[in-house]
Each structure stands twice: as C-alpha cells, then as structure tokens.
Amino acid sequence: MTATIIEQNKSPLKRIDVDTVTVDIIENALRNIRVEMDAVLFRTAMSPGIREQGDCFPMVANRDGKMIVGQFGSFIHGFMEAYEEQIEEGDIILTNDPYMCNAAVSHLPDWIVLVPIFKDRRHIAWSAMFGHMSDNGGMVPGSIPIKATNIFQEGIRIPPIKLYKKGVLQSDLLELILHNVRTSQWNRFDLNALVAACNTAAKRCVELAERFGDDVFYSTMEIMLERNHAAMKQIIEMIVPEQPRTFEDYICDDGVGMGPYKIKCTLWREGCKAIFDFDGTDPQANSSINFYLSEEMFKMFFGAFTINLFDPHILFNDGFYDLVEVRIPQGSLLKPNYPAALSGRTHALGRIFDVMGGLLGQSAPEALNAAGFSDSPHLFYSGYDDKGKWFQLFQIGFGGIPGRPAGDGPDGHSLWPGFTNVPNEFIEAYFPLRIEQYAPISDSGGAGLHRGGNGLSVAYRFLCDGTIAIHDDRWLTYPWGVNGGEPGQRSSKHLVRADGTEQWLPSKCDGIDVKQGDLLYFNTWGGGGWGDPYKRDAELVRQDVERGLVSAAGAGRYGVVISRDNRVDTEATDKLRSALQADRGEPPLFNFGGTIEEIKSRCLDETHLPAPQSPGFI
C-alpha cells in the first residue's frame, strides 16, 4: 500500500510550456528556498551537531516526492511506499525508523520531518529535512552502541506518525518521545527547528505558485527533472562501460573483534541504464555496522558523486533515477534482515563513495579519485560536571580528502561538503574539555603527483571524569592511492592517562572511562595520493615541507632532496628519482598497501592493535 493524499481541490495540475527565463527564475528561487531552510534551522536549533556542524539534509520535492532541490534526495519515495495512512493539509510527519520507511533514513538518530505543501486545498509539493539528534535513548549516550545486536538496543523507534494533525501538535506523542532520550531539551529545539525549516519552505513554494501560477510552478519542476535526466544520461553513457567492472573495499572491523567486511560491487551499462550489482558483499554483521542502503538512496549517492565530479553546475535532483538500477542482496551488510542493528552504519556509508570512485574510474583513470571519503569519525563524551549537571558531546571529526585529477586533496575536511567543524572555542565554553592540539598530521596524506589530504590530530584534555566512545575506521585497511599514488596513513586513537600510562584504543569502542586530566589524541586517516609522486613539482614538495604538511624525511617519498637551507637539491633529486623509478617499475592503477592477508599480518606492529578475526558467516 502507499500513502493517500487527501485534496479538496480535485482539479489536476497541467503540464504547460514555460519560457526559459521563467524556468531560471523559479529554479533559482527554489535553490534559495533550500538555503533558507538551512538558515532557519541553524538559527533555531540547539545541539552543536546541527547548529554548528550542519548535520542535516533539506529538500523540496514535487507532488510525487521527487527531489527538485536539496542536498540529498530519496526521502519521500520510500516513505510514501511504506506509509499506509491518509495525509491531509496541515499534517506533519515524523519518523526515524529505517525499517518502517524503506530506509528513507538509515539509523535511528536521524529524525526526519516531512511536510505536504498545499495551496488552495490542492497538494502541490513537499518539503522535508532530517537532522542527526544528539541522543535517541538506548544503551549508550549518543545512541550508537557498538555492541548492539538488534535495533531495539539503539533507542526509541518512531514509526511514521503525524506530529501535527491538520495543523495541531500532538503534544502527548511528542512528550512520550522526548521522555526516552537523554538530551530532551536539545531534541525538542532541534525538532522544532526542523519543522520551522520545512514550514518556511512550504510558505515560499506557495508564494512562488501564487506569483507564477500553479501550472507554471508544477511544469517548471518537471522541466528541472528533465534537464537533470538529459545531463545524467550523457554522463552515464560517457563514463559507464558496457563491459562489467568490479571493485571491492572493506570495513575494517565491527567493533567486537571481527573483520574486515567486504563491500563488492559490479557495474555495467545496458543501453543508457547503469546497473550496480552488490552481489559478493559480505553477509550482515552481528553488531551495529550494518547499513540499510535503499536502492533509491544509492541512486542519490551516485548522482551526487558523478555530478560533483564531472559538472557541479548541473542541478542535482531525482530526475535521473530511471537511468540507474541497483541490486543489493537481502541479508547482506547493505541490506540486513530486521531487526539487525544499524546505528554504526556511517562506516559503510562513507566506504560506498570509495567503492563508487574505484568503479567509475577504471574506464577513465585520468578521472579517477583516490580513496579518502572513507568514514565520518565520531567522538562522544558524557558525564556530570563539577556542578552535578549532565553534559553530552557528540562531535564529527574530519579526515583527509583524496588526491584528485584536479589537484591535492584538502587537509582535514569533511566527507560531506556542507559540514563544518564545531569551533574549538564553542566546545571549550560548553563542555569540560580543552583542545590542546588541532593540526594536520604531517605525511599522513598519500604521496602522489597530487597529494592526498592529511588527516587531523586533535588532542582532547578531559577536565571532568566521564565516559567516551569512538567511532572510526580505516585503522586496518589503507585509503588507497591511484595511478601510481601511494596510500594514505591509517587512523589511530591514543589515550595518555593523567598518571602517565598510555593506552591505544580501538577505532570503535564505547564505555571507556576517562578521568580528569586524561588526554586523548584523536588521529584520523589521510587521503590516498593521485598520480606518480616522482613527477610532482619538487618546489611544491619543498613548500609542503615548509608548511609542515610533509616532513623533510617524507619528501623522500617524492624523491625530493631538501638541503639544509630549505632549498631543493636539484641534482640529488634527479638522481634519487631516477633510482626510485627504476626500482619501482610501472606503478599499479590501485595501491592498496598490500593484500588483506599482508595487512593483517603486520597489523599489531604498525597499529598497536591485534588484527580482527575473519567473520564467521552462517
């Protein structure tokens, strides 16, 4: 069954011709609506994750639920197929349960608000936005329990419900939900902010329809979808081969000692349709690293990735979805069986972008990105401060962006382009923490003609006793290099106790007690390098050394010799590069840093942690 929209005005919207100037005006107005949604949210939300980092995703969709503008699409389509109730003017829908909305969201901390937009009692569009809540209840503060074995341990499950019915807030439902989370005040403000942003978009859409007419507004949305369809059709025919290409990458571990977990995908084209087949991906995990990846969400990932890679000026929307077919095996890591735990899905979500890059680049190596979109590192810190008041920090960290055909990867940058870091001054003002270091890790980016971005080392001094949790990956496998580029450095987490003792922490752990004065070094991975490092301009290497992004010794990875007076020794550099090139031979297309078996065999010596055991699938 699907949701039914109740309209008092039964007259259908008509497809009509719209001149180019009007289309451009409405398109830019819709783009501005998306920007205004973000502005409303950031000015009214309370949690640092949304207000400061921007962990939220807005969209405006046509009446069929196809995204017209936004950061990501696919929210409404899956919801509409799963929701069986009638929807009326003034209703506002809330949900967070992936299993009850066809993975319109993919883990419980993401709360999604959907608003049907009516004008003159006729449904004309949708607005929607989801944000990552600081807490959702469950086993651990922050609601991403590593050891969870089912979704019931991950907090409150909100089925698709009407938070507002015909414009009236269902306050009893809201209070029930907020009673089950640790940060009820933050969640209340953040949820109100999501609603306000969606209502703002609804108001602006009605204003546009009033200005230009309902049929012009409707037809322009269709034209925008068709423009995207035509552009993506050309891109798919250009970059997707008819002969199958296969690529695989790994989630390092599951947080409970098993791993790595393989994500495998085969890509080919039939006519103008791109087909992605994830057959060969490992079965679902017993812990929370599963990623319920709906086919619609993957199409959205593919569109966002290719448009940003080939032509960022193309308006990204859902118009191209019929050009892509996605096959994901049931019971796999990417489509687990209910009630599998899902909260730690971020690792697989980030790795999907590396897999897409590896697939799409094989036919056009000159356009191939290295790896480095690999994860979205999380730190949680909670407890009671000196005044007995509960505090709870959720922060997203940044790694190195991969080297690219266009140039070096940015150092310490977010996987998601709209995210920003929480200012250190904000953290120190509101939490019992002191940031003693915030710096790129020299040499952590993979060497290449275009250097991989360096990871970040953030040193957190804990000023109160509390508990921390860490969620990260790429501690075992390397962010791979391409076209002769070298892999990036792996992540590590190092805890120095106030008494001087030291402890290397796993990349996935929770329930770690810390004391006042303890110091955590939270080190993220670097991006892989792109192209032959021995062809990089030696002067650029010298400048990187001067800026602290590459060490003097690390310049040797580029075959560059820096003299004591900080100059390039040209003669010594030419001699060294010739010798290194002869010793290396022809570089491979991909440099993974070795096979999985080789990487695991040297794991303890290089990471201070034992290698995970191979998963015992049934």
Q: What is the DSSP letter of 321?
A: G
The verdict on 190 and 332 lying in the same domain is no
Distances (CA, A) of 608 to 347, 455, 498: 21, 19, 20
The verdict on 210 and 255 lying in the same domain is no
Query: Which residues make Cβ contacts (< 8 Å) with residue 20, sequence separation at least 6?
Result: none
The verdict on 255 and 162 lying in the same domain is no
Question: What is the pLDDT, as a whole number, of residue 336?
Answer: 98
In a domain, 563, yes or no: no
- What mean pLDDT do residues 504-532 have? 97
Question: What is the pLDDT, as a whole number, of residue 375?
Answer: 85
Question: What is the pLDDT, as a whole number, of residue 73?
Answer: 62
Question: What is the pLDDT, as a whole number, of residue 74?
Answer: 66
Q: Which of 204, 229, 254 is the endpoint of a domain?
A: 229
Structural domain total, the chain:
2
3-class DSSP string for 468-530 = EEEECCCCCCCCCEECCCCCCCCCEEEEECCCCCEEEECCEEEEEEECCCCEEEEECCCCCCE
Q: Is the pLDDT of residue 72 over 80?
A: no
Q: Is the pLDDT of residue 256 over 60?
A: yes
Question: What is the pLDDT, as a whole number, of residue 616?
Answer: 66
Question: What is the pLDDT, as a whole number, of residue 618?
Answer: 45
Question: What is the pLDDT, as a whole number, of residue 337?
Answer: 98
The verdict on 152 and 268 lying in the same domain is no
Whole-number average pLDDT of the chain:
94
Q: Is the pLDDT of residue 401 over 70?
A: yes
Q: Is the pLDDT of residue 207 over 60?
A: yes
> Is 374 or 471 the better-scoring residue by pLDDT?
471
C-alpha to C-alpha distance for 270 and 497, rounded to whole angstroms: 58
In a domain, 40, yes or no: yes
In a domain, 565, yes or no: no
Q: Report the DSSP pairing between strands 273-277 and 261-270.
A: antiparallel
In a domain, 173, yes or no: yes
Q: Which of 195, 229, 263 is the endpoint of a domain?
A: 229
The structure tokens listed for 584 are 């290396």
Please, which residues bridge with residue 97 across strands?
none
The verdict on 151 and 269 lying in the same domain is no
C-alpha to C-alpha distance for 536 and 521, rounded to whole angstroms: 31
Number of Cβ within a 10 Å radius of residue 90:
14
Question: What is the pLDDT, as a whole number, of residue 417?
Answer: 65
- What mean pLDDT do residues 206-230 have? 97
Question: Helix, strand, coil proportions of the chain in percent (round to 5)?
Answer: 30, 25, 45
The verdict on 418 and 486 lying in the same domain is yes
Please, which residues bridge with residue 86 across strands?
4
Question: What is the pLDDT, as a whole number, of residue 159?
Answer: 94
Q: Tell me: the pLDDT tens digits for 573-613? A: 999 999 999 999 999 999 999 999 999 999 999 999 999 99
Helix/strand number for the chain, H first, E second: 13, 24
Q: Residue 28, by phi and psi: left (phi above 0), alpha (psi -120 to 50) or beta?
A: alpha
The verdict on 194 and 245 lying in the same domain is no
- What phi, psi does 424 have (nearest 5°)? -60, -35
C-alpha to C-alpha distance for 68 and 208, rounded to whole angstroms: 14
Please, which residues bridge with residue 62 across strands?
125
Q: Is 546 exposed, middle or buried (0-12, 13-18, 19+ CB in 10 A)?
A: exposed
The verdict on 156 and 245 lying in the same domain is no
- What mean pLDDT do residues 300-311 have? 82
- What phi, psi does 181 have (nearest 5°)? -125, 155
Q: Where is average pLDDT lowest: 161-165, 238-242, 323-327, 492-496?
A: 238-242
The verdict on 169 and 44 lying in the same domain is yes
C-alpha to C-alpha distance for 469 and 380, rounded to whole angstroms: 5
Question: Cβ distance 333 to 263 under 8 Å?
Answer: yes
Q: Where is average pLDDT lowest: 269-278, 338-347, 411-420, 497-506?
A: 411-420
Query: Which residues make Cβ contacts (< 8 Å) with residue 10, sequence separation at least 6?
Result: none
In a 13 Å sphere around the CA of 566, the CA atoms on its Cβ side amount to 9
The structure tokens listed for 570 are 């040209």
Question: Cβ distance 464 to 432 under 8 Å?
Answer: yes
In a domain, 545, yes or no: no
Element (H, E) at 129: strand 122-132
- What mean pLDDT do residues 106-116 have? 96
Question: What is the pLDDT, as a whole number, of residue 564?
Answer: 87
3-class DSSP string for 158-193 = CCCEEEEECCEECHHHHHHHHCCCCCHHHHHHHHHH
Q: Domain of residue 280: give its range.
A: 240-293+328-532+587-607
Among residues 259, 219, 311, the alpha carbon closest in space to that of 474 is found at: 259
C-alpha to C-alpha distance for 423 and 294, rounded to whole angstroms: 34
Question: Residue holding tokens 């892989």?
Answer: 528
Question: Cβ distance 276 to 326 under 8 Å?
Answer: yes
The structure tokens listed for 75 are 């929210």
In a domain, 300, yes or no: no
DSSP assignment of 399-459: BPPPPBTTBPPPSSB-SSTT--PPPHHHHHHHSSEEEEEEEE-TT-SPPSSBPPPP-EEEE
The count of residues in the chain is 618
The structure tokens listed for 137 are 């209840």
C-alpha to C-alpha distance for 175 and 164, rounded to whole angstroms: 13
Q: Report the DSSP pairing between strands 273-277 and 324-327.
A: parallel
Distances (CA, A) of 416 to 11, 110, 372, 408, 456: 41, 15, 12, 17, 16
In a domain, 578, yes or no: no
pTM for the model: 0.95
Q: Tell me: the pLDDT tens digits for 336-390? A: 999 999 999 999 999 999 999 999 889 888 888 899 887 889 999 999 999 999 9
Question: Cβ distance 514 to 382 under 8 Å?
Answer: no
Q: Is the pLDDT of residue 332 over 70?
A: yes
Question: Cβ distance 309 to 296 under 8 Å?
Answer: no
Q: Is 618 exposed, middle or buried (0-12, 13-18, 19+ CB in 10 A)?
A: exposed
DSSP assignment of 552-617: TTGGGGGT--B-TTS-B-HHHHHHHHHHHHHHH-SPPSEE-SS-HHHHHHTHHHHHSSPPPBPP--
Q: Tell me: the pLDDT tens digits for 153-181? A: 999 999 999 999 999 999 999 999 999 99
Query: Which residues make Cβ contacts (< 8 Å) with residue 473, sequence separation at least 6?
Result: 251, 252, 253, 347, 350, 351, 374, 375, 491, 507, 508
The verdict on 145 and 187 lying in the same domain is yes
Element (H, E) at 209: helix 184-212
pLDDT confidence band for 3 (50 / 70 / 90) = confident
Question: Cβ distance 289 to 345 under 8 Å?
Answer: yes
The verdict on 46 and 67 lying in the same domain is yes
The verdict on 223 and 258 lying in the same domain is no
Please, which residues bridge with residue 433 across strands?
462
In a domain, 350, yes or no: yes
**What share of the chain has pLDDT > 90, as a percent?**
85
